Amino acid sequence: KSIFADMKVVIPAPIFHLTKMYNEDKFEKKVNLGVGVYRTDENKSFTIPVVKKCEFEVVNDPTLDHEYLPMSGNPEFRKVATELLLGPDCKALQEKRVAAVQTASGTNACRLAADFLAKRMKLRTVYFPMPTWENHMVIFDHAGFKQFKTYPYWHKKRRQIDMPRLLEALASANEGAVVLFHGSAHNPTGMDLTKKQWKQVTTVIKMNKLFPFVDTAYQGFATGDPDRDAWIVRYMASEGLEFMAAQSFSKNMGLYNERVGNLVSIVSDPKLVPALISELMMYVRPNYSNPPAFGSRVVSRVLGDKKNKEEWLKTLCEMTDRVKNMRKQLMQKLQDLNTPGRWDHITRQSGMFSFTGLNEEQVAKLVKEKHIYLTASGRINICGLNTKNIDYVAESISAVVK
């Protein structure tokens, strides 16, 4: 008898299962609003032109080889990525109080931080926004966190952020608790705090001596402006907080499968930086040993050259403009169809996702009867909408709500 005899087929990530169902569906008007990837108006995957150009340059660069990168990653990449996050005027950067480690994208930046915080810092409690990206809890659980708490984020009825209860929950958190925030384009709600709200949150963090962890998977994808989308990270740094931030280039550079990320730690004393990096390596070495090079070289070329960077920023704006336009159209069409309820939250939200407020039953109907694929939470990827399918989607949503 096999030692694997009790294996069962499980679904580790329902979101990828949704893609599989969509791919197998033969219905002509099927729509995939599930997984968070960008699509053009022709429903095609998209490589940002300047990213493509830099890929060619990297491939054809005779000075590059396939030797291992250092465990902490590509130094040039770490520098430009960290500057993108913190901005050129960041005092912590100037004072060399920043430790950056290249990771295998955002997921792995979260995991490396969680491993370190649980195993080395012996932290036990972590707070997540309710709701949050479904992988967060699993990552912190696997790393060894023991106590999982949530702070209210989304007010279901009002379809906005539940600020009073959010602050109340954080005010009751104990010293040393890790609190996870989304830097911008909160997944799944698409709803971010205002500057005023972030300031209130920061006051509570300081008061209760909490440890912020900012997951920044969508820098530039919320507003089209990476500086604006990094506001909370820069504010926390300017307030003298110690914290960690995870960075991903999956969405904003479209480098999903190259796994390009960065874990940035802001510390109070520059002397701590080499020690912190070396201790983080204790969790890199037995895991993946050193990160992949290709994507990091591409990002270095895009961000390290003024003209390339300008081109990237321009394309980023075009992408986010398309998303904003689809939001407007979806809201308008739902209203024109006299769909019961309010739909203006769709345009108040930003980034890839909209938390529509559709319930599980309505979602099930959309999947089964209309061949429109979305998660059970009612989250839709706005990038899956285009000028050809938006009428069908709006009519279908309207039909299942009525």
Contacts with ligand PMP by CB under 6 A lie at 36, 105-107, 133, 182, 187, 215, 217, 248, 250, 256, 261
Given the complex with ligand PMP, which of 104 and 210 has the nearer CB atom? Answer: 104
Two structure tokens written together for 357: 């407020």
296 in Cβ contact with 77 (< 8 Å): yes
Q: Which residue has the tokens 């699993």?
A: 138
Write down the catalytic residue from 133, 154, 312, 343: 133
> What is the phi/psi pair of residue 106, to 5°?
-65, -40
Given the complex with ligand PMP, which of 188 and 343 has the nearer CB atom? Answer: 188
Amino acid (one-letter) located at 308: N
Q: Smallest distance from the beta carbon of 36 to ligand PMP, in angstroms?
A: 5
Q: Smallest distance from the beta carbon of 185 to ligand PMP, in angstroms?
A: 8
Q: What is the Cα–Cα distance from 230 to 397, expressed in whole angstroms?
A: 33
Q: Would residue 251 show up in a list of annotated catalytic residues for this protein?
A: yes
Write down the catalytic residue from 162, 251, 312, 333: 251
Q: Smallest distance from the beta carbon of 163 to ligand PMP, in angstroms?
A: 20
Q: Would residue 198 show up in a list of annotated catalytic residues for this protein?
A: no
Given the complex with ligand PMP, which of 96 and 142 has the nearer CB atom? Answer: 142
Write down the catalytic residue from 115, 192, 215, 229: 215
| Distance between first and last Cα of the chain | 55
148, β-bridge pairs: 126
Q: Which residue is nearest to ligand PMP (CB)?
A: 106
CB atoms closer than 10 angstroms to residue 281? 16
Q: Smallest distance from the beta carbon of 133 to ligand PMP, in angstroms?
A: 4
Q: Which residue has the tokens 């990094």?
A: 230
Q: Smallest distance from the beta carbon of 58 to ligand PMP, in angstroms?
A: 20
Q: Smallest distance from the beta carbon of 198 to ligand PMP, in angstroms?
A: 17
214 in Cβ contact with 186 (< 8 Å): no
Q: Among 269, 308, 321, 348, which residue's Cα sits nearest to residue 49?
A: 308
Compute the Cα dihedral for 314, 320, 323, 329 and give only its sign: negative
Q: Which residue has the tokens 């005010």?
A: 171
What b/e readout covers 97-128, taking b as 16+ CB neighbours within 10 angstroms? Answer: bbbbbbbbbbbbbbbbbbbbbbeeeebbbbbb
Q: Would residue 195 show up in a list of annotated catalytic residues for this protein?
A: no
Given the complex with ligand PMP, which of 215 and 311 has the nearer CB atom? Answer: 215
Amino acid (one-letter) located at 387: T
Q: Smallest distance from the beta carbon of 339 to ligand PMP, in angstroms?
A: 28
Q: How many angstroms from the chain centroid is the CA of residue 45?
A: 18
Given the complex with ligand PMP, which of 323 and 394 has the nearer CB atom? Answer: 323
129, β-bridge pairs: 151
Given the complex with ligand PMP, which of 99 and 139 has the nearer CB atom? Answer: 139
Burial class (CB in 10 A: 0-12, 13-18, 19+), 157: exposed
Given the complex with ligand PMP, which of 288 and 392 has the nearer CB atom? Answer: 288
Catalytic residues: 133, 215, 251
